Structure 1
Amino acid sequence: MSIRSVLAATAAEYTAGPAAAGTYSMSAGRAGAIVAALLGVAGVVAGGLAVARSARRAAVAALAAGLLGTAAGGLVMVTSGGGIGTGNGLGGAIVALAVGLVAVLLGGLALGRSRRAP
């Protein structure tokens, strides 16, 4: 095998771009988006409980989970190779960003309320 054929094959793979993931396969982008969205949902649940009960620990948990979910969703969004519907997790990353932001807002609201309470 000559060097030219190896370089030509590598160049052809590089210019073809990322392939779309299969319908039922779990790509790294999909898995990352799912984890980010679950972190965001956990933050929303903790934030809702913190707002309802003015619990400081739940507010901090909501802030932490929301920030982690938002960061992970942003990371998946930046590193996804294709558009929405290619199976690279871009749609899930957008949802994770939105849910993580809601968790951060709820956690911040509950934390602000818990500081004012006697």
Structure 2
Amino acid sequence: MSPDLLLAADVLSFSPGRLGATTGALLGLAGVIIAWRALARPTSRPGPVPAVVAGLTGLLLGGLVAATAEGGLGTGNGLGGAYVAVLTGLLATALGGRAVSRSRRTG
């Protein structure tokens, strides 16, 4: 196998960029789950506000990793995970915002 066909980063290595992107993606995912539950059951706890906070935090963390990443996808800098963190953060923020507005209308 030629060296050109190998990945630039080891699959098992965990760089600071990958750690930040993974943390952001998990925060965004947690925000989506909390917001989904708040939309399904408006009286459920913890409510929609933590979903918005988790979504914004994941969005900002993913954006930070994407902005400071050197190189492209597959270089081990967490750029792919940063894109996932931005998307899940956006989704969590949007769903959480909808749940907040719904809770204010019904409450």
Q: TM-score under structure 2 normalisation? A: 0.87
8 Å Cα contact 2:21/2:62 also seen in 1: yes
Structure possessing the higher radius of gyration over alpha carbons: 1
Match of 1:108 in 2: 97
Structure 1 position 63 matched with structure 2 position 52: yes
Measured after TM superposition, the shift of residue 58 of structure 1 is: 2.0
Matched pairs, number: 99
Identity among equivalent pairs (%): 55
Given candidates 62, 87, 91, the residue that maps to 1:98 is 87
Q: How far apart are the structure 1 equivalents of 2:40 and 2:11?
A: 40
8 Å Cα contact 1:27/1:87 also seen in 2: yes
Measured after TM superposition, the shift of residue 54 of structure 1 is: 1.3
Cα RMSD of the aligned pairs, angstroms, is 1.3
8 Å Cα contact 1:21/1:27 also seen in 2: no
| Secondary structure, aligned partner of 2:47 | helix
For 2:26, the aligned partner's letter is L
For 1:30, the aligned partner's letter is R
Q: How far apart are the structure 1 equivalents of 2:41 and 2:93?
A: 17
Structure 1 position 34 matched with structure 2 position 33: no
Q: How far apart are the structure 2 equivalents of 1:58 and 1:77?
A: 30
8 Å Cα contact 1:74/1:93 also seen in 2: yes
Q: Which runs of 5+ in 1 are unaligned?
A: 1-19
| Secondary structure, aligned partner of 1:26 | coil
Measured after TM superposition, the shift of residue 57 of structure 1 is: 4.1
Q: Which runs of 5+ in 2 are unaligned?
A: 1-7
Match of 1:25 in 2: 13
Given candidates 47, 58, 67, the residue that maps to 2:35 is 47
Q: TM-score under structure 1 normalisation? A: 0.79
| Secondary structure, aligned partner of 2:71 | coil
Q: How far apart are the structure 2 equivalents of 1:52 and 1:66?
A: 18
Per chain length, whose mean CA-contact separation is higher, i.e. which structure has more relative contact order (CA < 8 Å, sep 6+)?
2
Match of 1:10 in 2: none
